[in-house]
């Protein structure tokens, strides 16, 4: 069982995506468990404040360190085996290798902050900082969701009997997937490649390999 704990101010963000398709099946099959922990539950005082104005002035609010760090301590106590990861556009880039690394581990604790500001001192309480790409999201939640999805589909059994994660894009060979076609044979004048109708499995296999190489070369990263 793979555990993901998500520390967030918006636990509702995760409900419907995780109740769809592959994550839903994997969670129901007990291959994975995702627990959302509301950072607000760790705020103190009458107003349960989770943010405050920035020292030095400037626009916007900054997430206070105390509720976030209290939530991290709670998460570490409940699941000491998980690595604590802060989502941040300044972190190391999340890629398929990282997804595989997480999928092999007992679990992860993902800390979602709002991009506009989380007190910098929180960084000292996490094990690593990860970014999902060179663009700015309004918070860590969509990044956490992308990571959870990428990891769940790698768990043995998550894709069902008929498929394996290795056959998909970025399988163990590091290449992008080949193109897929289904009926109709001609769609708006566009034909399915002849080789796929040939019934010649060796030729089909060779064509697919060639396509994977071509696509991977074309898509620079």
Assess 5 for contact with ligand ADE (CB under 6 A): no
100-108, 129-137, 172-180, 194-202 -> range binding ligand ADE (CB under 6 A): 129-137
Q: Which of residues 98-117 bind ligand ADE (CB under 6 A)?
A: 115
How far lies 194's CA from each of 63, 181, 189, in Å?
58, 11, 14
Q: What is the DSSP letter of 155?
A: S
Helix (H), strand (E) at residue 215: helix 201-218
Which region among 22-30, 38-46, 53-61, 127-135 touches ligand ADE (by CB under 6 A)? 127-135
Structure tokens at 138: 């309004």
**What letter does residue 93 receive in the DSSP assignment?**
E
Give me the least distance between CB of 173 and ligand ADE, in Å please.
27
The mark string for 134-163 relative to ligand ADE (x by CB under 6 A, - otherwise) is: -xxx--x--x--------------------
40 catalytic residue (yes or no) = no
Burial of 10 (C-beta count, 10 Å sphere; 0-12/13-18/19+): middle
Binding segment toward ligand ADE, per CB under 6 A, in 7-15, 32-40, 126-134, 207-215: 126-134
Q: Which helix (H) or strand (E) holds 87?
A: strand 83-93
| Contact between residue 141 and residue 13 where contact means Cβ atoms under 8 Å apart | yes
In sequence order, what DSSP letters do the residues of 7-32 get, joined into one string? EES-GGGGHHHHTSHHHHHHHHTTSE
Report whether 10 contacts 50 (CB < 8 A): no
Task: Determine whether 89 is an active site residue.
Answer: yes
Distance CA 188, CA 83 (A): 50
Of the candidates 89, 101, 128, 142, the residue annotated as catalytic is 89
Active site residue 116: yes
Given 168, 172, 185, 205, which residue is catalytic? 168
- Choices 15-23, 71-79, 128-136, 194-202; region in contact with ligand ADE by CB under 6 A: 128-136
**Annotation says 173 is catalytic:** no
**Residues 54-93: x where in contact with ligand ADE by CB under 6 A, - otherwise, as a string:** ---------------------------------xxx----
**Comparison of 26 and 144: residue with beta carbon closer to ligand ADE:** 144
Q: Is 131 in the site for ligand ADE (CB under 6 A)?
A: yes
Tell me the sheet residues that pair with 130.
Answer: 92
Minimum distance, C-beta of residue 147 to ligand ADE, in the bound complex (Å): 9
Q: Which positions are annotated as active-site residues? A: 89, 116, 153, 168
């Amino acid at each position: 069982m793979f555990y993901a704990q998500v520390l967030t101010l918006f636990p509702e963000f995760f409900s419907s995506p995780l109740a769809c398709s592959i994550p839903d099946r994997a969670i129901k099959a007990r291959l994975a468990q995702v627990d959302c922990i509301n950072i607000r539950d760790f705020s103190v005082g009458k107003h349960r404040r989770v943010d405050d104005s920035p020292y030095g002035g400037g626009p916007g609010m900054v997430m206070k360190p105390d509720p976030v760090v209290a939530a991290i301590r709670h998460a570490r106590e409940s699941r000491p085996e998980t690595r604590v990861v802060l989502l941040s556009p300044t972190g190391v880039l999340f890629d398929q290798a990282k997804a595989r690394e997480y999928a092999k581990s007992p679990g992860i604790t993902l800390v979602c902050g709002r991009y506009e500001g989380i007190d910098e001192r929180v960084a000292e309480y996490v094990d690593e900082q990860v970014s999902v790409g060179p663009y700015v999201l309004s918070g860590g939640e969509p990044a956490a969701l992308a990571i959870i999805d990428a990891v769940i589909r790698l768990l043995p059994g998550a894709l069902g009997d008929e498929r394996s994660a290795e056959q998909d894009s970025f399988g163990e060979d590091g290449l992008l997937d080949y193109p897929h076609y289904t009926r109709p044979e001609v769609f708006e004048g566009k034909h399915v490649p002849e080789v796929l109708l040939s019934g010649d499995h060796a030729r089909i296999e060779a064509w697919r390999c060639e396509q994977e190489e071509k696509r991977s070369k074309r898509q620079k990263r």
